[in-house]
């Protein structure tokens, strides 16, 4: 069994997200640690955080996957942007201590013309500065679509970052199905081959979470446009094989599909239906 949930808004607080996910039928979720366009992060209400932690435990949730800001670029060329990104990482990891034992994923960064090697070195440098032994969070590098100068569009680049990080036990990877497909990894016709390649280069023990999305574009398009499950180029049969793959059981799967609440409720039921091996039950829930 995998854990399934979707990205939620934190606007009503932390316990409210747990309650929303129970209502949606899921048992994990993601949220942005701060406004995705950046800015100062709101302090976390300790009582609200404790209430969420109690609810997660009581309801048997899988690990949560908080998402770093899109504006956090740990390999920016502009010194101020770089410093801001490093501050965001440090602050986000401090704030994550309110939710011990969960994941924090982020986009490794864009090297903006400095080259992949420089990008990799700068990202690893930031991680080495803020991944401390005291941390109760595992930090996840997200697999990227390889758009523009993004770092992390290949498993090799992710491995190069991991190689340079001292506290590897605090570091893992979030496998985004839309991104890996757009990056050119054929998870439709050769899922086992792609996972074997991941295992060779990074190790499947480092694959901690999945962003579960269909893609609007064909293999290798480098576009990064998510689609609803089954309506894109990856398709339902391949997505089902991913959700049921033995190597991915027990992991949190986060939907980042273009949906409103009703669409997420439907997709969560759809995935749970695959797990139950009873697709008729999904039709009735839909
Ligand atoms: Fe992401
Ligand atoms: Fe993602
Ligand atoms: Zn994306």
How far, in Å, from the CA of 221 to the mean position of ligand 3?
13
How far, in Å, from the CA of 281 to the mean position of ligand 1?
31
Q: Check residue 42 and give its pLDDT.
A: 82
C-beta pairs of 264-273 under 8 Å, 24+ apart in sequence: 264/6, 264/24, 265/24, 265/25, 267/6, 267/228, 267/229, 268/4, 268/5, 268/6, 268/24, 268/25, 268/26, 269/25, 270/229, 270/230, 271/2, 271/4, 271/212, 271/229, 271/243, 272/4, 272/25
pLDDT in tens, 16-73: 999 999 999 999 999 999 876 666 788 899 999 999 999 999 999 999 999 999 999 9
CB 251 within 8 A of CB 208: yes
Q: Around ion ligand 1, which residues have CB less than 5 A away?
A: 142
Q: Is the pLDDT of residue 276 over 60?
A: yes
Q: Check residue 40 and give its pLDDT.
A: 78
How far, in Å, from the CA of 284 to the mean position of ligand 1?
32
Residues annotated as catalytic are 37, 67, 70, 107, 142, 176, 179, 211, 224, 226, 256
Whose atoms come closest to the Cα of 216: which ligand?
3
Share of the chain above pLDDT 70, in %: 95
How far, in Å, from the CA of 108 to the mean position of ligand 1?
10
pTM of the model: 0.95
Whose atoms come closest to the Cα of 36: which ligand?
1
How far, in Å, from the CA of 53 to the mean position of ligand 2?
24
Question: What CATH number is given for 3-285 in this structure?
Answer: 3.20.20.150
Q: Is the pLDDT of residue 279 over 70?
A: no
pLDDT in tens, 238-248: 999 999 999 99
pLDDT in tens, 121-131: 999 999 999 99
pLDDT in tens, 8-26: 999 999 999 999 999 999 9
Q: Is the pLDDT of residue 284 over 70?
A: no
Share of the chain above pLDDT 90, in %: 93
Whose atoms come closest to the Cα of 254: which ligand?
2
How far, in Å, from the CA of 142 to the mean position of ligand 2?
7
């Amino acid at each position: 069994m995998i854990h399934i949930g979707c990205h939620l808004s934190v606007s009503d607080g932390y316990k409210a997200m747990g309650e929303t996910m129970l209502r949606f039928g899921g048992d994990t979720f993601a949220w942005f640690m701060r406004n995705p366009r950046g800015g100062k992060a709101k302090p976390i209400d300790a009582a609200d955080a404790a209430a969420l932690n109690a609810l997660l435990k009581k309801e048997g949730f899988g690990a949560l996957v908080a998402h770093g800001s899109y504006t956090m670029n740990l390999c920016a060329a502009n010194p101020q942007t770089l410093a801001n990104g490093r501050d965001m990482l440090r602050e986000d990891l401090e704030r994550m201590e309110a939710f011990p034992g969960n994941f924090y994923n982020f986009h490794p960064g864009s090297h903006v013309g400095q080259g992949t090697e420089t990008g990799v070195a700068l990202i690893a440098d930031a991680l080495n500065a803020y991944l401390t032994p005291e941390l109760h969070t595992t930090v996840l590098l997200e697999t990227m679509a390889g758009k523009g100068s993004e770092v992390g569009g290949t498993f090799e680049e992710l491995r190069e970052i991991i190689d340079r990080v001292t506290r590897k036990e605090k570091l893992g990877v979030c496998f985004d199905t839309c991104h890996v497909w757009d990056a050119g990894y054929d998870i439709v016709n050769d899922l086992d081959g792609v996972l074997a390649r991941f295992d060779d280069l990074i190790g499947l023990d480092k694959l901690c979470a999945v962003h579960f999305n269909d893609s609007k574009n064909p293999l290798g398009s480098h576009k990064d446009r998510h689609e609803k499950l089954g309506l894109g180029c990856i398709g339902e049969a391949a997505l089902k094989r991913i959700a049921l793959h033995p190597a991915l059981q027990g992991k949190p799967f986060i939907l980042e599909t273009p949906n409103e609440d009703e669409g997420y409720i439907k997709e969560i039921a759809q995935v749970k239906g695959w797990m139950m091996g009873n697709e008729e039950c999904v039709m009735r829930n839909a």
